[in-house]
Amino acid sequence: LPQIFGIINRIKKKENGNKMRNVYLDYSATTPVKDQVLQEMIPYFTEKFGNPSSLYDKGLESKDAVTHAREQVAELINAKPSEIFFTAGGTEADNWAVFGTAEKLKAKGNHIITTKVEHHAMLHSCAALEKDGFEVTYLDIDKDGFVDLKQLEDSITDKTILISIMLVNNEIGTIQPIKEAAAIAKRHKVLFHTDAVQGLGNVPIDVRDMGVDMMSLSSHKIYGPKGVGALYIRKGVSIANYMYGGAQENRKRAGTENLPGIVGFGKAAELAKANFDNHVKHCSQLRDYLKDRIINEIPDTFVNGTMEHRHPGNLNVTFEYIEGEAILLLLNQFGISVSTGSACSSASLEPSHVLSALGVPVEMIHGTVRFTVGDFTTKEDIDYVVDNL
């Protein structure tokens, strides 16, 4: 402890001679809103504030803005605009997919298949259904983080009504074989949902080619505002409404629309599509540079998950014999923001369920840090992080 406090005091006094800088390496938790997105949103807080359900000019102006945003989001994933339903975020979209399917198809069956490494929005929803008599199969992952497609197919029964497998894992960045998994679901006439919150803007997404029935999306992971997301529901798929009230979202999700948020989401989707190749190249190069420096310069470190078929900005590293939260707090003193796991569970002392499923020993899980780079990360940022790390 005296050594730690001595380090902190030296940092605060800047006695180390290094210029303090702020480096954000937690882009999988959230992203800053890009200026183009903010500028698009601002008028809808002020002069263009009409309710999209109103029939006069101000209302119609707002309705047109929502329609345009729906088109922008749809284009990013090659969907029809009519298949995009705006929500309050990715968590709501996951909940809607699970509970909406369960309510609609409960007469057909009570079995759901998902994985052990899903976001808690999915896992906790399934746990709630289990209390109501539903059965849930949780698929294993291998040492690289991939699901076993044979186990998936073997788990399907005549009571299975939904399969949900996330596209990109939020902790270790593994990109799952969604197209192949969706094809298995289709053969057995089971609805297939994927949580694509981490994948949106980071991996190619084509809902037609992938063959999914539902997909959860979120704005604040692609440099858009928080508090808005969407659920893609393929035309012809029927699930129960999530909220009742007015006729918004084609009578499926009531409530006055988050107009500025939806406009911002649309603009962020447009930018993500236009900048996709540059974004992936930029992030993957810096991520690999970060990995090489850490592994080569810091002993007793290893990467969790495969480096192939991985989120371009994700690096999950275990530091043996060291507490991850200590690393996080000390890096914070240098103005560096990282995560010890997913942001949604960072306040929990429970070991990461993802790393546990990966087979990482508990004591090593607690020494794990997730770094995620983004559009505003520079090589100088990476050098500053590793030098202080």
**SS (HEC) of the chain:** CHHHHHHHHHHHHCCCCCCCCCEECECCCCCCCCHHHHHHHHHHCCCCCCCCCCCCHHHHHHHHHHHHHHHHHHHHHCCCHHHEEEECCHHHHHHHHHHHHHHHHCCCCCEEEEECCCCHHHHHHHHHHHHCCCEEEEECECCCCCECHHHHHHHCCCCEEEEECCCECCCCCEECCHHHHHHHHHHCCCEEEEECCCCCCCCCCCHHHHCCCEEEEECCCCCCCCCCEEEEECCCCCCCCCECCCCHHHHCECCCCCHHHHHHHHHHHHHHHHCHHHHHHHHHHHHHHHHHHHHHHCCCEEECCCCCCECCCEEEEEECCCCHHHHHHHHHHCCEECECCCHHHCCCCCCCHHHHHHCCCHHHHCCEEEEECCCCCCHHHHHHHHHHC
- What residues does 369 pair with on adjacent strands? 317
Helix/strand/coil (H/E/C) assignment for every residue in 93-125: HHHHHHHHHHHHHCCCCCEEEEECCCCHHHHHH
Name the one residue in this structure whose structure tokens are 């070991």.
351
* CA–CA distances in Å: residue 345 to residues 218, 222, 369: 18, 21, 13
- The catalytic residues are 344
Q: What span, in angstroms and rounded, lies between the C-alpha atoms of 148 and 41?
A: 43
